[in-house]
Chain A
């Protein structure tokens, strides 16, 4: 089986990799690029833990073949930190207690950041729709939703 040569940009850095066609984007982010913030949950696109931005859209990276992202741009949760400062969404989720075990958090942060980019002042309903594909077994969602709505309502982002 032939390996495939791909070039992609991750968090602003260019990478060239030879990938086994069976590897998913999630797997190469974690195993080749050592970006462990992207988590694997279900592996079938149901839970959203592996959500990354692919050309600015949030996608489940467990359902994307690495060989198929040649030339594309990826942002993971690590790419949201600027000058050592967490993103406004990350700060708000911590402040609201919207984080417990933390497994779903990177995916929820990525989905929320994508929503705020498209819709800077989302309603509660819009936040719930944006993270409907992100499962959280700890928080009951309310604190996460409150945090994202508050980021939208403030001018902090």
Chain B
């Protein structure tokens, strides 16, 4: 690793100020499972590393009208949280699909998002659940829908001095279901070839007898420069009952919306086919 200055400030304000002082040449350290690898390989050579580990409150999980998930919460904390398992089990299921027990003890939800990998597993289910990102900077905080958080591979809206503080996940008014499916070469320690997050909120409209999909989200991972909402596919389902025909149509459209590439993990053709399969399969299961 190249030399760097190490800081472990007790407050978010101080962490933010140090990162701002280094003007883009500093990196925040949470779990380190991405950062340290890139520093060892000299892909990143930050002049400052600012640990977030001493900052109180960053690894809190709380439910108070909405779920507040601290950016520093580890994947193992998500898996073990009774609150998450009871209210948003998709997040625990997703965390369990990531890496292995040892890496999950270090890796954080905020780190997964801030690295802005197109294949970040936490992104599709969190976007599907309408999560918002609370971002702290030297001039105060701003809230960005997670939908608008990613800009490109490795790029988010975070500016120098800004730190992801927490995620806010609203509790849906109607009954909802959410799931995430990940296609990988082995069941641990692997990066997704394709990931699909699905969310449906069902209710009755007017005097309608049959429940309809009042809200729906389909979010694709590893098939575009950023995690991607399949908005045209969502429109096919929004306001309707989840019939087999509609599900099949929406899954085909989701595959059309994907913008996959060929790489070491998979071909673009295969990725697109699997977007259709994983979308259809999950919607069928949610519809049951």
Contact = CB atoms under 8 A, between A and B. Distances in A.
B105 A57 contact: yes
A43 interface: yes
A48 B102 contact: yes
B32 A132 contact: no
Given A44-B37, A44-B40, A51-B102, A68 B29 contact: yes
Interface stretch (A29-37, A59-67, A91-99, A143-151): A59-67
A129 B95 CA distance: 13
A22 B32 CA distance: 13
A114 B6 CA distance: 30
Interface residues of B, number: 27
Given A57-B105, A130-B101, A45 B6 contact: no
Interface in B158-201: 187-189
Contacts of A57: 76, 105
Nearest to A47: B189
B188 A63 contact: no
A83 to B, nearest CB: 28
B2 to A, nearest CB: 8
Given A1-B5, A4-B6, A57-B105, A24 B100 contact: no
Contacts of B32: 63-65, 68
B3 interface: yes
Interface in B1-25: 1, 3-6, 8
A54 interface: yes
A17 B31 CA distance: 22
B103 to A, nearest CB: 5
Interface string A119-134: 0000000000110111
A4 B99 CA distance: 30
Contacts of B115: none
A111 interface: yes
B33 A22 contact: no
B6 A21 contact: yes
Interface string A1-42: 110100000000000000001101000000000000000000
A128 to B, nearest CB: 9
Nearest to B104: A133
22 contacts: A21-B49, A22-B3, A44-B37, A44-B40, A45-B33, A45-B37, A48-B102, A54-B105, A57-B105, A60-B106, A63-B33, A63-B37, A63-B103, A64-B32, A65-B29, A65-B36, A65-B49, A65-B51, A68-B6, A68-B51, A68-B53, A133-B101
Interface of A: 1-2, 4, 21-22, 24, 43-46, 48, 51, 54, 57-60, 62-65, 67-68, 70, 111, 114-115, 129-130, 132-134
Interface of B: 1, 3-6, 8, 29, 31-33, 36-37, 40, 49, 51, 53, 76, 99-103, 105-106, 187-189
The 5 closest A-B pairs by CB, nearest first: A133-B100, A132-B188, A21-B6, A57-B105, A22-B1
